[in-house]
Structure 1
């Protein structure tokens, strides 16, 4: 009897794992990371959405090489410049709910790219809105995105960013030419 129950449980677990693997294999995100441009555009698109719209956190995490970090920087209440190191999972836990509850659209308005071999540094100026229909951004800043091309795809290695403040305006050379 115990042997039969063990075999049944093993079959259920195996079927469950196989079903999950098929489900994961069904989502092919390879086109999203095929080029540098598609990877950066996907990064912005996957965190953006109207209030109440779910984000595809599986796709978000797919963009990052294991061990990658998201690193916001800025002044704390005491005026000291600080950084916070987050994994993609940490970012989802700390910001995911807020993005959905408030609505958030981050739009790239300018990009500077430097590449050497298989590494690329992107300085990406952004504006943030609560809705895609908003005209005036509630925030601007620069994302410093480090990426790796392993010959098969692009990986986000780190995103290090800071927001624009009254004391720290975005330099003209990182804004669109108008």
Structure 2
């Protein structure tokens, strides 16, 4: 009887520890699609798809994190109050914490409209021009820009290493070379 009680207590302790480690992603029981990183194209398509969704729609942050190599960075650029360009370095987790709630509360769709790819061996550099919408039903984007995405193929899958981006402005329009033909 003591052995059975000890086993039950141990099992409850382990289950309780596992319960404490649950993230908000676990609550929604999202899964990871490992095939999403088999090709460069599927990795990029998944990158855009995973952050996109209508207002009130949860994002699959497990899948988002799965796309990135450990220590990967997301690097937005823009002008500060002194009108100088600056950058901010974020981990995928920082991006989720800084933008996740906004994406869900406002609705957000980022759609790739053009892509220029350079590869050498296991590395790829992609200039991916995007348009951003609040809803998939919107006909006019509220923002456009270019994502500079660096990726690595380790022989098994593609990993996002960095995403470095800039938004289009009146003084910095997207060059025709990076728009659809």
- Residue 55 (structure 2) pairs with residue 51 (structure 1): yes
Q: Which runs of 4+ in 1 moved over 2 A?
A: 2-10, 12-17
* Mean Cα deviation higher: 48-57 or 74-83: 74-83
Q: What TM-score does the superposition give when structure 2 sets the normalisation length?
A: 0.87
Unmatched runs of 5 consecutive residues or more in structure 1:
none
Alignment correspondent of 1:121: 125
CA–CA distance in structure 1, aligned partners of residues 6 and 72 of structure 2 = 40
Shift of 1:27: 3.5
Alignment correspondent of 1:93: 97
Residues matched between the structures, number:
171
Structure 1 segment 24-39 matched on structure 2, within 5 A: 27-39=31-43
CA–CA distance in structure 1, aligned partners of residues 13 and 75 of structure 2 = 38
Q: Is the 8 A contact 2:69 2:159 kept in 1?
A: yes
Unmatched runs of 5 consecutive residues or more in structure 2:
none
Alignment correspondent of 1:12: 12
CA–CA distance in structure 2, aligned partners of residues 95 and 76 of structure 1 = 19
Computed over aligned residues only, the root mean square deviation of the Cα atoms, in angstroms, reads 2.3
Shift of 1:127: 0.2
Q: What TM-score does the superposition give when structure 1 sets the normalisation length?
A: 0.89
